Amino acid sequence: MLNQKAHVEKLLKQAGITINGSGAADTKIHNEKLYGRVMRGGSLALGEAYMEGWWDVKELDQFFYQILSHGISHAAAHSWHELLFLAGSIMFNMQSKARAFEVGQKHYDIGNDLYEAMLDKRMTYTCGYWSPSASSGQAAINLDQAQEAKLDLVCKKLRLKPGDTVLDIGCGWGSFLEFAAQKYSIKGTGITISKEQAALARKRCQGLPIEIKVQDYRDTQGTFNHIVSLGMFEHVGFKNYAAYMKKAHDLLANDGLFLLHTIGANQTSFFTDPWVEKYIFPNGILPSVSQIGKSIEKLFIMEDWHNFGHDYSKTLMAWFENFDRAWLTLQSKYDDRFYRMWKYYLLSFAGSFRARNLHLWQIVLSKHGVRGGYQSVR
């Protein structure tokens, strides 16, 4: 155990982290068996040990920021679980139609009360757009304002006008379609793989020209002036990128625009973090620039590629503050292990985006190219 502790201690020291130190990112160890457990089980073991109270840190987001900024995660050997999952991802289609609804059941259906407490007033479960205030010197904006700025940004990038028909692939609780119908007078169709999302989306969009369907994207039919997908591409899977883009191409009008909003990774990978896979987003995987580029060949022209991933760190911190503030009312339904799991999820992702290990991309695509050129919106 001494050798294992010394090895972990040496790795953490490279990131400026001290075991049982007093800094914001320093770890407090409550169980000395942690070192061997993490050495054997990698990131899955680290996350599960946190859920079980084996270790703590004042600021989890800062801990992950420092770990990832210094490349410490790459120094650890892959666990057998990670290698097994990698083999399965390559051999099988983990995001097949038969498995498409699993993430809806395990993540999005866990309780609308949780998401209502955590998210903004429109329940937008994707990155907010905080950048305008920072770049213009305006006063700081809050989560509600950042999400409305993002929704409006999408509408402007799509050049929406009254009467346009819009398909939202992965519509969540309907925030984008509700906003676009109210502000831009569009007609919308939203599809989701979550029954709980669909039920609340229909309620929130009542009285608007919006239809919400529980449906896999592969079963969608029709022709739409524009298509938007906010935070759904992460569930498509690398074996299905080409089919997804072909489907979007078939559904889009010849002169329409398709806006893809997705988290992206710095390099191509064929499996996700095993802790995230097991507890947060089953069958999820993040695309790389090259994977997206290859998937749109011969189908779309890339009109615009906007990266504002640093804004996701701010969004996740705001979500955690809301979740933490609401915990007294939520804890009768969700136990302490869930609290630590959800905290680990939100703050580890916040640190990852801050370290520029993850990105948020908005990509505007057209079928034949915008005549006269596409003017980027920021």
If you ran DSSP here, which 8-state letter would residue 357 be given? S
Sorted by sequence, the CB contacts under 8 Å of residue 238 that are 6+ apart come out as 268, 270, 285, 287, 291
Phi, psi of 96 (to 5 degrees): -65, 170
Sorted by sequence, the CB contacts under 8 Å of residue 137 that are 6+ apart come out as none
Say what the pLDDT of residue 90 is: 47
Relative to beta strand 165-169, strand 224-230 is parallel
Whole-prediction pTM: 0.91
DSSP line for 112-129 = HHHHHHHS-TT---S---
Q: Rounded to an integer, what distance in angstroms lies between the CA atom of residue 111 and that of residue 184?
A: 30
Q: Which residue has the higher pLDDT, 131 or 333?
A: 333
Nearest-5° angle of CA 244, CA 247, CA 253? Answer: 135
Q: Three-state SS for 309?
A: coil
* All structural domains of the chain: 2-77 (no CATH), 94-111+118-307+357-366 (3.40.50.150)
Q: Rounded to an integer, what distance in angstroms lies between the CA atom of residue 107 and that of residue 110?
A: 6
* pLDDT > 70: percent of the chain: 89
- Dihedral sign of CA atoms 7, 10, 11, 17 in order: positive
If you ran DSSP here, which 8-state letter would residue 263 be given? E
Q: Rounded to an integer, what distance in angstroms lies between the CA atom of residue 97 and that of residue 216?
A: 7
Closest CA to 69 of 320, 288, 353, 360: 353
Q: Three-state SS for 317?
A: helix
- Residue 67 pLDDT > 50: yes
Summarize pLDDT for 189-208 with one digit per residue, the tens. Answer: 999 999 999 999 999 999 99
Percentages helix, strand, coil for the chain (3-state, rounded to 5) are 50, 15, 35
Give the type of residue at 288: S
Give 97's pLDDT tier (boundaries 50, 70, 90).
low
Task: Average the pLDDT over 290-310 and give the result.
Answer: 97
- Residue 101 pLDDT > 90: no
146, 315 Cβ separation under 8 angstroms: yes
- Residue 103 pLDDT > 80: no
Phi, psi of 279 (to 5 degrees): -110, -20
- Residue 3 pLDDT > 50: yes
Relative to beta strand 165-169, strand 55-57 is unpaired
Give 19's pLDDT tier (boundaries 50, 70, 90).
very high
121, 102 Cβ separation under 8 angstroms: no
Q: Three-state SS for 303?
A: strand
Judged by average pLDDT, the poorest of 77-91, 226-240, 299-313 is: 77-91
DSSP line for 134-173 = HHHTPPPP-HHHHHHHHHHHHHHHHT--TT-EEEEET-TT
Task: Average the pLDDT over 14-36 and give the result.
Answer: 95
- Residue 247 pLDDT > 90: yes
DSSP line for 4-42 = HHHHHHHHHHHTT--BT-SSTT-EEES-TTHHHHHHHHH
